[in-house]
Structure 1
């Protein structure tokens, strides 16, 4: 299913095509250097597919930049469709390990990723991409045809039910954030099939590569890898609105899978008006270093896990708002999505301070009657992560059908269709 011969290939000789080919090579080289591309086969695919054909109107340099391109927004300006950043597309396709001749389904259509999948599947493969939005599907269809990938099927449908008429699939790649895993996605996988999906879990989004496993224990999905990512959200039957608590008139927000597990906004605001307690861990990280496993490690440990976003820089810590009079402002480790823990008697979050060599040391800042104890516990779990988890394998994530027996695991998150079990390797932590 590689591209039809035509003027968009690498041998085309117009100045624009030659410049585009050079930019494709530069993008592939960058993705290899950054570790997003790890196999020669995928590198060649990135050097082949003309991304600029899927981003019409953008200058070539922007079309081949490592950044997301939003192609549609809702009335509030929230993105509803995009051509994802090349690095996350490469990571997910490496996770998918697309077999030559594979029967493939993409859920969420931008066009470019389907073309990459078509190159990987080859002339004996079959690629179908489905999107709920007719405008997005029409755009993908036109871009694929213009780039020479007319054999890719583009279907307008809600993917909650998969695509039974084309099943079974060797690979299903989901390119929108999913809060849940509908039964059809598992059931329409081939016996040795793989699902790669940006899964929302305890407020965290990870691209999880699930293999279908069916044995005496049951028919389930078992993870092979999980990588940090971000995507536009699922629409249709699988849509799930974010749950968050907004504090102090919008200065802060707390994101969680289920805000019912957190104290009320009023209680949290009261905790944040108490004196601040600070503890440090001696754990040092580079700011650009991926902390993929740390948030999930903390989410496993603390029922009140959430993520703190500071909506206004430096806010809030003036007398009469949060913090005791004269207290320093809140200093979360990240501007958006800092790991935090909320209990009825304390609120704590990760903080960081710079070191001379450019790294930062991780610590905790906490408020409330039990602030010292919660800060110490949070720092202790960061230290345990550094000692036992930071350089080791991440957890195994298993998706059990909702009607299966309750799994025993370090963490179980209940969705509508599945129970997600998170298990860390034994003998550590």
Structure 2
């Protein structure tokens, strides 16, 4: 079976959950629900569905130019046993060191909206920042997009308050994250220098766009812009540029954001891009 057959993937995932129950690996409802939810095949680009959902099958997920294995994903049986032994619960904050993506996605499902998962790896090519919609991130497509030609689009807006602009971007769109690259990826010209310090990145399907800047005396010294990759690069770049222009028109000043902390005893708003859930309440960032 190919990886573009969602019905087959769902069926195989359910079968894997049943097998892991029979093996005694799954012992809790939270782990069972996570394994039943996260699409494992998205974290194993190129692998047949049967291999991706085999309970005892480790998978190579990255090779060098000579075909030598550089990174692998442990068998689902091993990952589930580790999760059960760790005793992860809803609301926890978890640090995972050494990521294949899938295990971090399971962790994110278990800790839920009140928790937080931070995952790091020595190879930034296998780590993906995960949030509430982890299961909807097409990891294989984003990796492919990274190696496709990028396009540049410029906003005409000044780049002079980087911290305030970053706060605006990260709290104004639920599909924003932070893209952080090592110097090797920048030297290979896969990503621009702005990602070495961390740049807000907008993700949509198999495409992504991130903030950059260039010298422009007409905007006071520097101008904000976007570099986009992927099949929908033009559309996602346009969406990002409009956010930059909105920032320039309406919020380009210090103190533009209103930041409130709401304890659990208060009425917490419905989930939104400016809502940051914490253990004992929520931080709400708004741009009046």
TM-score, normalization by structure 1: 0.35
Q: Distance in 2 between matches of 1:373 and 1:365?
A: 12
Correspondent of 1:274 among 148, 152, 158: 148
- More off after superposition, 366-375 vs 249-258: 249-258
Change (3 A) 1:337 1:276: same
Q: Distance in 2 between matches of 1:290 and 1:349?
A: 17
The alignment status of 1:333 with 2:194, answered yes or no, reads yes
Q: Give the 4+ runs in structure 1 shifted more than 6 A.
A: none
Instruction: Identify the residue that residue 37 of structure 2 maps to in structure 1.
Output: none
Structural mapping, 1:320-359, within 5 Å: 329-355=190-216, 359=221
Q: Distance in 2 between matches of 1:244 and 1:385?
A: 30
Aligned 8 A contact 1:395 1:423 in 2: yes
Correspondent of 2:137 among 257, 263, 273: 263
TM-score, normalization by structure 2: 0.50
Residue 244 of structure 1 deviates from its aligned partner by 4.3
Aligned 8 A contact 2:166 2:200 in 1: yes
Residue 376 of structure 1 deviates from its aligned partner by 0.9
Q: Distance in 2 between matches of 1:243 and 1:343?
A: 21
Aligned-residue CA RMSD in angstroms? 3.4
Instruction: Identify the residue that residue 400 of structure 1 maps to in structure 2.
Output: 262
The alignment status of 1:243 with 2:118, answered yes or no, reads yes
Instruction: Identify the residue that residue 31 of structure 2 maps to in structure 1.
Output: none
Aligned 8 A contact 2:173 2:273 in 1: no
Change (3 A) 1:367 1:337: same
Instruction: Identify the residue that residue 419 of structure 1 maps to in structure 2.
Output: 282
SS at match of 1:339: strand
Aligned length, in residue pairs: 173
Residue 260 of structure 1 deviates from its aligned partner by 2.5
| Larger-gyration structure (1/2) | 1
Residue 255 of structure 1 deviates from its aligned partner by 4.8
The alignment status of 1:383 with 2:237, answered yes or no, reads no
Structure 2 gaps of 5+ residues are: 1-90, 92-114
Structural mapping, 1:210-249, within 5 Å: 243-244=118-119, 249=123
Residue 329 of structure 1 deviates from its aligned partner by 3.4
Q: Distance in 1 between matches of 2:126 and 2:194?
A: 14
Structure showing the higher helix proportion among its residues: 2
Residue 349 of structure 1 deviates from its aligned partner by 0.4
Structure showing the higher strand proportion among its residues: 1
Q: Distance in 1 between matches of 2:125 and 2:282?
A: 34
Correspondent of 1:291 among 144, 154, 162: 162
Instruction: Identify the residue that residue 192 of structure 1 maps to in structure 2.
Output: none
Structure 1 gaps of 5+ residues are: 1-179, 181-239, 318-327
Change (3 A) 1:341 1:262: farther
